[in-house]
Structure 1
Amino acid sequence: MSYSHKEHLHRFACWTAARAAQRGWGGGTTTTIIAALESTGFREKLSDIYQSSPTAAEFDQWHAERVGELTLILVDKLSKPQQNIYGRVAKIIAIYIKTVYVSQYPDAVLSKVAHPPIDGILLKEVKKKTHLKYPPKLGFHWSTFDAEAYQTALNYLREVNQGKAFWEIEEFWKATDAQNE
């Protein structure tokens, strides 16, 4: 096997995605998360959606399907599988896409519609710095979001973003604000 840049980027994206979502997630190890990504053919499915230049609605459907696939694999590996894991799996997907596509191709259609990594830092800063009313009962604990809470957060962030490339919402996210997370 020759070690290509594509393989290098895939490995790095798997690692960054796993590390971003695993803190405090019993059984959600880097090895487990990477195995789930690879066993579902995530890289190939992502390449397909990238090539298709999806609308936001098409991406949302694709995303929900990937969350479902990854959840089925991961739930059996977790020490507390009854917890909502939608937010964590969504973050895995977002970080992987950000690493592989958004960082390299910010003007690509996928980069414009892909969900940003949603976490407490982003949500708190958006709430603090915008005039839009924060969704009641949403909270900031992204790691416990179910599909409904995730969609509520997504809708709120889209409203704040006002049709710009979705990665641009991350102007509100700063790693230095991580102590708030």
Structure 2
Amino acid sequence: MSTYSIADHAHRFAVWAAGRAYSRSGGDGGGYSVKYAQTMLEAAGMRDINTPTDLPSAEGIDAFIHERIEAVRAARPATYVHHKTGEHLKFRCTYGRAQKLVNVYLKSKLVCGGYHDDERVERLHPPVDSVLLKGLSAFSESVAGQVQYAEFQKDLLDAQALGSSWVVFTQTTYEAYIKAFKSLQKDKPLWAIEEHWVL
């Protein structure tokens, strides 16, 4: 009798979704594949996160996300094998790429897994990518001069001054964008900021 469970199923889907999102842009290093994503996510203990009860309190989510990002980065292999030449090359995983893995994984498993209204899940970070950043930049321009968006606009400008390419984000740049997201969302779930993620 098979021991394949819904937890296994959810994990495999979340790994696939995160791995595909993480590999979307070439850039820094290489070896960006679902296989390597799975290795890093599982080594970082992500498979054990199945429901909101596996998360800390809402106040501890930011630190938890940072710990998971660093755990993913620590699990990266030293090298990867180039898919065409077979050559072993240095594997790099920036903070920006690791956040994409962690955040898409948690989005797939928890936000879209029916736990979206749990206060801990509401504080999970959205995956930061170029589509979201472009959408938020356009939104900021559209509300120019409106007082209720002044804090968000300032925080977004501060973040943009640090960098705009998510694949090379440092922790400092990433956290500056999360601050801007919180300024915009206020009491609304952070996942809902993806209404500005325009296909």
Normalised by the length of structure 2, the TM-score is 0.78
Q: Give the deviation of 1:122 after TM superposition.
A: 0.8
1:121 — aligned with what?
131
CA offsets, 1:122-170, max 9 Å, x none?
1111121124132242332101101111111111111111221111100
Looking at structure 2, the residues matched to 61 and 171 of structure 1 have their Cα atoms a distance apart, in angstroms, of 25
Q: Does 1:150 align with 2:174?
A: yes
> Closer, same or farther in 2 for the Cα pair 1:56/1:145, shift >3 Å?
farther
- Counterpart CA distance in 1 for 2:180 and 2:109 is 25
Q: RMSD across aligned C-alpha pairs, in angstroms?
A: 2.0
Quote the residue 2:76 is aligned against.
74
- The one-letter code matched in structure 1 to 2:67 is E
Letter in 2 for 1:66: R
| Higher-Rg member (1/2) | 2
- Please state how far the C-alpha of 1:110 moved relative to its aligned partner: 2.6
Aligned counterpart, 1:106:
116
Tell me what 1:2 maps to: 3
Query: Closer, same or farther in 2 for the Cα pair 1:16/1:84, shift >3 Å?
Result: closer
Structure 2 alignment gaps of length 5 or more: 81-88, 145-152
Map residues 53-72 of structure 1 onto 2, 5 A cutoff.
Answer: 54-72=56-74
1:43 matches 2:47: yes
Cα distance in 2, alignment partners of residues 35 and 20 from structure 1: 15
Q: Which residue of 2 aligns with 1:20?
A: 21
8 Å contact 1:28–1:74 — kept in the other structure?
no
Cα contact 1:113–1:166 (8 A) shared by 2: yes
Q: Is the 8 A contact 2:76 2:93 kept in 1?
A: no
Structure 1 residues 77 and 62, CA gap change in structure 2 (3 angstroms): farther
Shift of 1:28: 2.3
Aligned to 1:179: none
Q: What are the Cα deviations for residues 102-139 of structure 1, in whole angstroms up to 9, with x where unaligned?
A: 01211012320000011111111112112413224233
- Asked if 2 retains the 8 angstrom alpha-carbon contact of 1:18 and 1:30, the reply is yes
CA distance in structure 2 between the aligned counterparts of 1:146 and 1:75, rounded to whole angstroms: 19
TM-score (normalizing by structure 1):
0.85
Q: Kindly indicate whether the alpha-carbon contact (under 8 Å) linking 2:7 and 2:50 is maintained by their aligned counterparts in 1.
A: no
**TM-fit CA distance, 1:37:** 1.4
Higher mean displacement: 83-92 or 129-138: 129-138
Pick from 185, 188, 198 the counterpart of residue 161 of structure 1: 185
Q: % of aligned pairs identical? A: 31
Query: What is the identity, as a one-letter code, of the residue corresponding to 1:110?
Result: R
State how many pairs are aligned.
172
